[in-house]
Structure 1
Amino acid sequence: MKWTEQQMPRQDGRVAVVTGANTGLGFETARGLAERGAAVVLAVRDTEKGKRAAARINGDVSVQELDLTSLESVRAAAAGLRATYPRIDLLINNAGVMYTPKQVTRDGFEMQFGTNHLGHFALTGLLLDLLLPVPGSRVVTVSSTGHRINAAIHFDDLQWERSYSRIAAYGQSKLANLMFTYELQRRLAAHGTTTAVAAHPGISDTDLVRNTPAVARRLITWLTPVLTQPAAAGALPTLRAATDPSVLGGQYYGPDGLAERRGYPRPVASSPDSYDLTVQHRLWAVSEDLTGVRFPVGPVTAAA
């Protein structure tokens, strides 16, 4: 069966936090959840854009300021959400940047790694205890097929201080999203309520490519009708990962078409590197040290 929004169950009574929800994939994810009855929080850097996006969605929608390039902002956003919501059913780690020129976040992290991975790592850790008591709650983190392209976790130069490749840095951040999901799921399994799932949108027509070099951007624009799918279709893997009752913790959802570029969402496999337990454990420890955030779920011991 081809899974579409029509297969999404009602979400009445559920609270969903979607990062980067004022445009593109995040907007379509938030819209889909709100139209099925969820109370949706658009967690966005620009609250004015967030308010304009909220006005375009039918349903219970609010806006929370969140700048993933600043751990101070991440902590403030988590505090604001905790003060407003006694529980969270869905945390959708969607926001991201791609192929940026060499830049650093306010905390000195390489922009793509700091935004795509470390910001979401910190936000999840700060909110997780609001999800743990909620049966059926989920953390969905959006990765990319880019996690396969020249991608590795460069522990010897995580912040790309010695040299910089915008493509490899993006690949590292998206590989980190998957490794975070898999390690988080192992830690959550003992609790039996919350699950961690990953998704990717294939190649979707969004403004994420704005930092792509000019020649490649022109090529993408020319090939858009052939290679890409609309943002609403690109959001389907995330929506399925968040709402389908058959989803299992630790699964990864993407389009079912050729090379996972477009199509209907189904479980897919990530790269062999993404399943490396040793690297997952090391990345988790490094991420805790860099963000200062400790999770309320501990590591799985060998005896367990």
Structure 2
Amino acid sequence: MAEGDRPSAADWLTEHVSSQVGRVFVVTGANSGLGLETARALGALGGSVIMAVRDTEKGAAAVEALRAEQPDGRFDLRHLDLADLDSVREFAAGVEHVDVLVNNAGVMMPPRTLTEQGYELQFGVNHLAHFALTILLFNTLLQAEDPRVVTVSSGLHKRGRIHFEDLHGEHGYHRTKYYSQSKLANVVFALELHRRLRTSGFPLRSVLAHPGYAATNLQSAGPTGVGKLILKVTNRVMAQEVEMGALPQVYAAVGADVESGQFWGPDGRKESKGFPTLVEPLDEARDRELGKRLWDISEELTGVHIDLTP
């Protein structure tokens, strides 16, 4: 099929996904970028979307725009600051029902910054906060039919390693290195959660997704200097539209054939663009000892624990 004959992102979803009326989705970072597009797509499919955002003023503007497009859409704006674990706990306590949690929000390549609890910002927001949120919502998710947790990573996870000797960059911070660490942590966590769920028999799917190279404000919000300029240019020249970038995580959330432990990404060259397909994580991410070690230290740092005994 010629490039111009390929369906739009919305058409592709309509062809591959059934109605989501009656299902409730939590999407973190839903006021812009991939999160906003995910909320838009899920709303168009009939789902109710809890839009978890740090900046409620920008979130309110996003909800207003969505309701103008979808007058019957069900969008519920709520505050969530992933850089503060107290905010994560407060948010989770207010969620009475959820079918699918989409751990989407993230920060990318900022100067070294710390969360409220003193953790490196990228590791704290991208991994630790989503780890805590998933565990805090675990019992609520189990009350749903076909519950899922979708953890959004990046192709850059393949360049990462977990710096257990210096998790928070006190002795050698490099913004790209620590971004890759956080994205690898996403993958390791989601696969470890999958293993524990299968072992214990809980009917919850842990699924991964990544957007390829999608043009969002993520590339401009964190980076500074020359790096920011380079990303601005490559966004224009190389990146795919955000609607396409969101498809893998939307499909991971609602696709009928999606299985726990799978990783969905674009089907194009080097997984940079295209429609959703199954992709492979970094081999190291499957290491069980690494998964257990990251899980244990994540429980220690967040103070959030769960017993997955059957």
Query: Normalising by the residue count of structure 2, what TM-score does the alignment of the two structures yield?
Result: 0.91
CA contact (8 A) 1:137 1:195 kept: yes
Alignment pair present for 1:234 and 2:245: yes
Alignment pair present for 1:5 and 2:13: yes
The ranges of structure 1 where at least 4 consecutive aligned residues each deviate by more than 4 angstroms after the TM superposition are: none
Q: How does 1:76-225 map to 2 (within 5 A)?
A: 76-81=90-95, 85=96, 87-149=97-159, 151-189=160-198, 190-210=200-220, 211-225=222-236
Root mean square deviation, CA, Å: 1.6
Aligned to 1:267: 278
Q: 2:86 aligns with which of 72, 93, 97?
A: 72
Aligned to 1:244: 255
Task: State, as a whole percentage, how many aligned pairs show the same letter.
Answer: 45
Q: In the TM superposition, what is the alpha-carbon distance from 1:47 to its structure 2 partner? A: 1.2
Q: Which amino acid aligns with 1:65?
A: H
Aligned to 1:40: 49
Aligned to 1:280: 291
Q: Distance in 2 between matches of 1:268 and 1:65?
A: 33
Which runs of 5 or more residues in structure 1 are unaligned? none
Q: How many residues align?
A: 294
Q: In the TM superposition, what is the alpha-carbon distance from 1:188 to its structure 2 partner? A: 1.7
Q: In the TM superposition, what is the alpha-carbon distance from 1:79 to its structure 2 partner? A: 1.1
CA contact (8 A) 1:17 1:88 kept: yes
Q: In the TM superposition, what is the alpha-carbon distance from 1:296 to its structure 2 partner? A: 4.5
Aligned to 2:3: none
Q: Distance in 1 between matches of 2:233 and 2:119?
A: 34
Q: In the TM superposition, what is the alpha-carbon distance from 1:220 to its structure 2 partner? A: 3.0
| 3-state DSSP of counterpart to 1:294 | coil
Q: Distance in 1 between matches of 2:227 and 2:118?
A: 28
Q: Distance in 1 between matches of 2:111 and 2:105?
A: 18
- When structure 1 is superposed on structure 2, of 47-56 and 284-293 the one drifting more is 47-56
Q: In the TM superposition, what is the alpha-carbon distance from 1:5 to its structure 2 partner? A: 1.6
Alignment pair present for 1:15 and 2:30: no
Aligned to 2:35: 26
Query: Normalising by the residue count of structure 1, what TM-score does the alignment of the two structures yield?
Result: 0.93
Q: Distance in 1 between matches of 2:133 and 2:20?
A: 23
Q: In the TM superposition, what is the alpha-carbon distance from 1:142 to its structure 2 partner? A: 0.3
Q: In the TM superposition, what is the alpha-carbon distance from 1:295 to its structure 2 partner? A: 2.2
Q: Deviations over 1:79-110 (max 9, x none)?
A: 122xxx2x210000000000010110000000
Which runs of 5 or more residues in structure 2 are unaligned? 1-5
Q: In the TM superposition, what is the alpha-carbon distance from 1:192 to its structure 2 partner? A: 4.4
